[in-house]
Chains A and B, each alone.
Chain A
């Protein structure tokens, strides 16, 4: 069996051949497309380490079969920063905020946390309320317990975005 999928991955249109209907999006990314940023913490939708954006929405890629995604637009952690490579790259504001607020320790949950935060920003219903941010980020476990830094980073990014929006309006 072989299926051909049209996917847009991090802004790059690709034709992806799939020879097994059991392949999840997470395993497709990690084992076949060399995009190992998304992590497998549970493979059951319980930890959020595998969070990526599909058509702008945050999802658990371990729970999504690749064959169901024909035509989808996928953004992974690798596609978040601007061009320039490590050192020269422009970090996404959420990425920079995570570093500033020490929103991680081991870093294993971090790609998922950051993609989830980017999705959260787009959803726009957290506002500047820390309690809502904590609630809406609670699908992403962090065993290291970096929650305080994560929450601060997300709030910081929300504030920066709101500030930028105000400037645009002015």
Chain B
């Protein structure tokens, strides 16, 4: 039921500001000197190396493994197969919570997808382990692989993504189409894409006895994973320690447990020695998730003025034969443009692949790619400029629900982006512009959108005797710059400079900071840190206020301000005392504050919350060869309060480059006869190189959000991918006249 107006809610208090500075990364020096330690950089004494042997068929079973040959190789210590794999305390074919997918850990001889682990070889050296795995000479009984729409098994899913509805309808779709002057249909397919973080999934596992486990691994969800490992190995959660000080990228692929890592941990327990396992690049195309394929159809009803009367977004999304993760692409149409009737629906398709998973902007990326192409086609059909069309169909309230936006500076994004790009004067018809070399030039745009999920998170802040602070939360920095931005937030709450704050994070025995995902980590962990800092200050104020010798005696918490390491009386700022003095006089060595992510639930319900943006792209296309080059990308984004503009820009650049990659580069190619991925590497699976990105710009559009959370922070990590894909496809259409129907756009589609 649409709300006419939100319940009156007291706006969050304005927040004092000592963040917002473009600090360089706190871990910058470690990263440029090679001293930042990633999982595989660890080398405990007595280390063994593990290598998985993987399947080269997509479906069937393993009939023979030459274990003797592998074991005979000098240096090989043990070979694990389904015949001798040590027991697990949890059945890997049973789901373990929302993010606990069914996985393959040698529970049987079955093969469900290519690159599934079928044995684990452990050796004294990496070279011996690799050779041992090659010597296994596995034999199979193969069944035909199901690789596409025609041979996959279709089904009606219960959910898409992680628990989102597979079918959402607003308004009367039939009436909307009946009222339309014309209906525009757009078909788009998107391929399987692999996260391909630069750091392959790695683990160094060490057991202390049978029940204490330490894991060095890149991990996006430390406490959640700790709990899951504890279940798999049948030990108390507090006996598992995950250390993840640096991740070489995650993009969603390092939040979910996977088979190879569990096997390495099992091997370490069995052999009573530390074990290191690092997947090869090729082995990452299977057991560690990917963005699943989609086949999407959009139908837009349009009235005589160019207003959308109905929007129907259908998607068929592929998953594995044994687990469900359906790319929630159709959901992208629920939030972007005004329409009296919207239907978003997804059908599932089972293929013989590894299970897909969340990959940077899951659903939003593929869905926005298709939607923005459809919107461009609709503008075309109405003879309208694409920006004008988007403004005409601007959603003043959330489509469907009618909820007001907590903030939405999208108009400003459109206008600032268009101005910077030079959109005005764009010819309406395609193939109108050429550069000095005769290249076809095209301009396209897309709307960027991403929701603002929040996750439970906790933190601790300790003010120390010397007036500095220690703040702690089990957060994750996979490149976003969390260490820096989160420390800025904590420092602000504590009234200290960031340099005076020691920030401890990236270890699972700290307060739970939730998942680094959904672009919600800074807001969630940041709120917890903010509240912990304020709690510590309140406790300190209590001490001072109760101490007759303090200049703050009698002030009470409400009456002090924390600034530059001192508490000041609010009514008389000349009366102040340093943190160190307060602690020293009251004989305390520290005060400890705690905090958790907390926001007004009523506000979260009453308001629709999204980060917004607009992306403009220029492409040049060789008219004879069809080669496409993206010569300019300009994005303008509004995402509430910006903690660190330097880092946020980098997030936007990265997201937009992912969008470029989606539009022109990435696709896993499956051999239809065997189900094998033919380009499981980094040269044939193309990702952009430096020369592919001549010019990328991000404009930070100011936006104040008093409702999204007390800090006014929205997310920035994924939104850059959305909008960009469509903008590039639309620019290609403008350059060439060709409306593409699949991603990535290929040369042969343009000739």
Contacts and interface: CB of A to CB of B under 8 A. Distances in A.
A81 interface: yes
Given A106-B198, A106-B247, A37 B35 contact: yes
A108 B33 CA distance: 11
A39 B657 contact: no
Contact of A144 (B41, B479, B694): B479
Interface string A143-166: 111111111000000000000000
B618 to A, nearest CB: 16
A117 to B, nearest CB: 11
A103 B246 CA distance: 16
Contacts of B480: 105
Interface string A70-95: 00000011101100001101010001
Given A43-B281, A102-B24, A102-B25, A138 B689 contact: yes
A145 B657 contact: yes
A25 B688 CA distance: 27
A102 B32 contact: no
Nearest to A153: B32
Contacts of A68: none
Interface in B479-493: 479-481
A54 interface: no
A42 B682 contact: yes
Interface stretch (B154-162, B555-563, B646-654): B646-654
Nearest to B75: A20
B33 A99 contact: no
Contacts of A37: 33-35
Contact of A111 (B29, B34, B197): B34
B691 A135 contact: yes
A105 B28 CA distance: 9
Nearest to B655: A145
Interface in B197-221: 197-200
Interface range on chain A (Cβ under 8 Å from partner): 35 or more
B694 A100 contact: no
Nearest to B693: A147
B688 A107 contact: no
A99 B24 contact: yes
A47 interface: yes
Contacts, number: 191
Interface string A33-51: 0111111111110110100
B37 A36 contact: yes
A42 B197 contact: no
Contact of B27 (A76, A107, A134, A142): A107
B178 interface: no
Most chain A CB within 10 A, of B247, B480, B654, is at: B654
Interface string B658-693: 100000000000000000000001110001111111
Given A41-B682, A106-B246, A141-B198, A86 B693 contact: no
B198 A98 contact: no
A106 B478 contact: yes
B164 to A, nearest CB: 27
A41 B24 contact: no
Nearest to B37: A36
B199 A105 contact: no
Nearest to A99: B28
Interface string B225-246: 0000000000000000000001
B693 A145 contact: yes
B34 A77 contact: yes
A140 B24 CA distance: 23
B278 interface: yes
Contact of A102 (B278, B280, B646): B646
A138 B248 contact: no
Contact of B249 (A31, A40, A46, A144): A144
Contacts of A95: 32-33
B392 interface: no
Contact of A106 (B199, B655, B688, B694): B199
Given A36-B40, A108-B38, A146-B654, 18 more contacts: A31-B125, A42-B281, A46-B683, A47-B281, A47-B682, A80-B33, A86-B35, A89-B33, A105-B654, A130-B694, A134-B694, A135-B690, A138-B691, A141-B198, A142-B690, A143-B687, A146-B653, A149-B650
